[in-house]
Structures are given as structure tokens and as C-alpha cells.
Amino acid sequence: MEEMIKPAPAPASSEEEKEVVATAATGERRHEEATAGREEQEEEEEEEEAPVVLKKGPWTTAEDAVLVQHVRQHGEGNWNAVQRMTGLLRCGKSCRLRWTNHLRPNLKKGSFSPDEELLIAQLHAQLGNKWARMASHLPGRTDNEIKNYWNTRTKRRQRAGLPVYPPDVQLHLAFAKRCRYDDFSSPLSSPQQSAGSNVLSMDAADAAGAASSGYTSARPPPLDLAGQLAMGSRPVQLLAATPFSAPSSPWGKPFARNAQFFQFPHSSPVSPTTPTGPVQVHPVTPELSLGYGLHAGDRARLPPVSPSPGARAELPSSQLRPSMAPTTAAAAATGGLVGGALQDHPNAASLEAMLQELHDAIKIEPSAPPENRGTEEEGGGGGGNLRGVSGDGKPEVELKDDIETLFDLIIPATFPAAAPEPAAAATAASAAPNHSSSVSQHSSDDQDHSNGADVVLDLPILTGGGGGSSEQDDWSLDGAACQWDNISGGICRHEFR
DNA sequence: AATGCGCGCAACCGCCTGCGG
DNA sequence: TCCGCAGGCGGTTGCGCGCAT
């Protein structure tokens, strides 16, 4: 605080005074002030007869001092009175902005920490460009700061053809997308089920904001990570805990300025590598967290699919597709969907068949122009890798049903810590409503896209993406190899081996 | 050394909302 | 109900700086 209140400057020179009360806030005067007269300048007393022409441009330390002094004496608010009471040639708006963005106490300066960056990404995924509300979740940060950060960051990542959101947030949105198809009254999204969970809840303001933002009723509550951050005591569970180590993550890569900070401190309350809480099914081991890398040994830890409280107990009959011939060979070839977990599932056979069929039928078309690829801007519920008609002529809408069915089954099996969490599901309705995603299990000899990955997530790049980039980004998954591959045009693929 | 370019950031602008007269 | 004002918010602009050429 002390350094923010600069000592009163030496009496301004007469020409400086004249400058301050100059009538035209021209660009050249602005330039002069920016360069020469930045250090000291005062204008507390000037001729009252002169028409008051409010100053623009960068604030001087003297002006800051005046404003700080005024706020100390009179408190915040009534910003238009500042000019009258202090003679400061700034409009109320400018005073308010200067105070809130630079002068008020407890402002955090400097680069965003990795925790904050992650939080911003999550908040943005939930709220969109609601900078002020995002700022309310980030103590000491201003909406302007967050906005600037996000805009530059987004530009950079889009230019690089990288997804705007980190994988876990994308996954979150994938859940969100899926959640929108669920009956809101179903157990999956029943609010009661979130009781006792430490997965974040929506506060009233956010709920109101959600309504006013035009989101659906199933819109997710924003993650209350900020609350966790502020409280510093209660552990937080990210919806999809980040399984990768931040310093090597593609999420962190473009942020060289934060490279030295980009480690999720395990002491941090929002450290994604510090998952806790009742729904943390698996202990986080160095080689695996949250079912991301499904090694053979890990598969045994997967919970049964169907009884999972988060998964719907019954699939819609229309989605069960009983006529589909079981493709047990495919299941055998893949070693079973998600390990053995689904092999015991009553629908495993048909599921495997669907998987095989879908995997054969639904192909990403790298040659297709990005505008046909279903990025979020397109909307239409398309997107992802569902394009047109399958190889056997299955209409797209049917494929979509299949995908949704797969979501019901695969998500709980693949991400057992996330999917069964009803609050997370309720949390996860979408701020980016038109994303489609798919999860598929690739056989070991199926190398066309998966490179032998155990689990492959194809997620849309959420803000248009670079399109056509073949950029590839690998990161370590604490032992499990993982790949971020912007295949082309709005799809990024996460492969977990 | 000079120049161009990109980035980060501060500040402005316009619109919207809430409130009181 | 209308109007004006104050404040808030999100988008945009423009400057300064650092880096690459």
C-alpha cells in the first residue's frame, strides 16, 4: 500500500501546470506527458474560470496521490465528486478505473500464477467473457487484468493452433456438453446428490448471472476454485483433475513468462495435483491420476460402470441398439473397453460393437476445410468428429445417439473420479454449448490416429482453433505418455496410454 | 545501430443498469 | 413513467518496451 501512495511531488513547474489544465487532450500532449512529464506533475490548483477540460492519458504519480488521498478521506464511490473536491482533472469514470485497477489496496501485481491461470481458464469456460465476475473469484486481480491476460493468451494460442483451454477444462466442457442431454431431473444432475461433495457449488450471484447470461438451466455452476483459493483450507477437487505436470504441459508452454512459476505447488489449495475429497476414487500416484492413463494394473481399480451413481442406471432404450450384433472379437482385440471394467458390464457386448462400428465409421477428415468441422462457433450441436454419414450410411443423428450412449458408458468407466460425481455433472452444463466430443478406445493395433493410445479423447478446440495446423504437443503425464495433437480444424486429440 | 514487429498493459469509449427525483 | 446521473462492464485502442532482423 505504501508504495502505491507516492509522496507528494515537488511543486509542478508552471509549464507543467499549464499542461495539466490545457484545453485539448490531444495525442501529442498525451505523448509528451507519457514521455517527459510522467514523474511529477500537479494540478491541484488551477484557474477555476477556465472551462474544465478533463485530462486523458496516463496518470501521473501526483494524480494518483490526490486520488488516494481523496479515497482515504471520503471512501470509494461518488467518483464524479473527486474532480470537484480535489480539482483533479479526471472524470469520475477515470478515477474509478484508476482506483480499482491500480491504486486500491490488496491488488496483486505481477504475473498470474499457474493456479490463477488455471482458474481463469476454468472460469472462462464457465462464464465466458464475464471479466468482472471472474475477477471476483480472483482476489487482488482486476477484470481488466484478466481480460488482457485472456485476450492476449487466447490470441497466441489460436495463432499456434492450440486449444484455448487446458485438457482438463476441455474435458470438463465435454462433460458439460454431455450433461446437457441428460434429463435435468435425473439422478445424474440431481442437486441433492451434490450434498457433501466438495465439488463446487454455484452461488446465488452466479446463478443469477447464469440466468442473465442466457445459459440453459443446466448450465454449470462456476467452479468455486476462487473460494477455495481464498479459503486456503478446504481442498478442492477439479472436475477433471489435471493429470499432467504443469511445467511440461502444453497449457503452460506458451506462457514463458510464467515458466518459473508454472508448477502447481502442492501446497496450493487449488493444485490440480492435490486432489482430495470423497469422490477421489483413486489415490493419485505418480503414474496415474483419475484414470487417465489406463495401464493394465490400473484398470483393476476402475469401478464397475453401471452402479456408478453418476452414470445413468439405464440407457434410453433407443440408444441401446439391441439389434446390433455383439462384436466380441473387437472387444477381445482391444483387450476390452477400458480394460476389464466394461467387460463385465451388461451392455459390454453391444457397447463394444458400437465402439467398433463408430470407430470404423467416424473418421476425422483432415482434408475437410475447418469451417466444416464443427467448431464451437458453428454450433448446431455438431462439431467434434461427427461428420455427415458414416461409412455404412448411418445417418449422423444416429451416430450422435451412439456417441451419447458411449458417453454414458465410457465416461464413468474411463474417468471414474469425475463421472460419478453428480455435482460435477451438475456443475458441468455448458457455457460452450455446442461442443461435441468423443471418447474412444483404440486397439493396440489401431494406429491410424491413436498411436496405440489406450484412451483417446477427441475434443473440439473450443474457440475456433487454428485450423489445419499439424502442430503437436506432447507432455508428460507423470509417467503416462500423453499427447496433445491438434489433428486439424478444431479437433484436438488427447491420447492417454 | 536502425528499424520493424509483436506483445503487454493502461486507459478510453460506448452501452447498460440501477436508483432517485 | 420518465429522465438524469452514477457506476459497472466489456470491447477496443494506443503507447511503450523488448526482441528479432
Answer whether A167's CB lies under 8 Å from A289's CB.
no
CATH of domain A2-103: 1.10.10.60
Positions 239-278 of A with beta carbon below 7 A from strand B are 257
Nucleotide nearest to A77 (CA to C1'): C7
The more confidently predicted of residues A48 and A173 is: A173
Instruction: Give the CA A471 to C1' B8 distance in Å.
Output: 25
Distance from C-alpha of A496 to C-alpha of A244, rounded to nearest angstrom:
11
What's the CA–C1' distance between A411 and B11, in Å?
46
Torsion of CA A306, A311, A313, A315, to 10 degrees: -100
* pLDDT tens figures, A250-307: 343 333 333 333 333 222 323 333 233 322 323 322 222 222 222 333 333 323 323 2
- Predicted confidence at residue A455, as pLDDT, reads 43
Q: Nearest nucleotide (C1') to the CA of residue A57? A: B11
Burial of A264 per CB tally in 10 Å (0-12, 13-18, 19+): buried
List the nucleotides on chain C closer than 7 A to a protein CB. Answer: 5-12, 14-16
Looking at residues A4-11, what average pLDDT do you find? 32
What is the sign, positive or negative, of the torsion defined by CA atoms of A190, A191, A192, A196?
positive
- Burial pattern A342-352, b for ≥16 Cβ within 10 A else e, equals bbebebbbbbb
A391/B7 CA-to-C1' distance in Å: 47
Complete DSSP assignment for A169-209: HHHHHHHHHHHTTS-TTSGGG-GGGGTT--S----HHHHHH
Looking at residue A162, its amino acid is: L
Distance CA A372, CA A113 (A): 37
pLDDT tens profile A392-449 = 344 444 444 444 444 444 444 444 333 333 333 333 333 333 333 333 333 333 333 3
Q: Which nucleotides of B are covered by protein (CB under 7 A)?
A: 7-14
Q: pLDDT per residue over A89-114, tens digit each?
A: 888 888 988 898 888 888 888 888 88
Strand B closer than 7 Å to the CB of A56? yes
Nucleic chain C contacts, Cβ below 7 Å: A 27, 30-31, 34-35, 77-80, 92-93, 96, 100, 129-133, 143-144, 147-148, 151
* Selected residue with higher pLDDT from A467 and A175: A175
Confidence of residue A12 (pLDDT cuts 50, 70, 90): very low
Of all nucleotides, the one whose C1′ comes closest to residue A155's CA is: B7
Higher pLDDT, A471 or A113: A113
pTM value surpassing 0.75:
no
> Which sequence spans correspond to the domains of chain A?
2-103, 151-496
- List CB contacts of A326: < 8 A, sequence separation 6 or more: A349, A350, A352, A353
Q: What is the mean pLDDT of chain A?
A: 48
In tens, the pLDDT along A128-170 reads 888 888 888 888 888 888 888 888 888 777 777 777 777 777 7
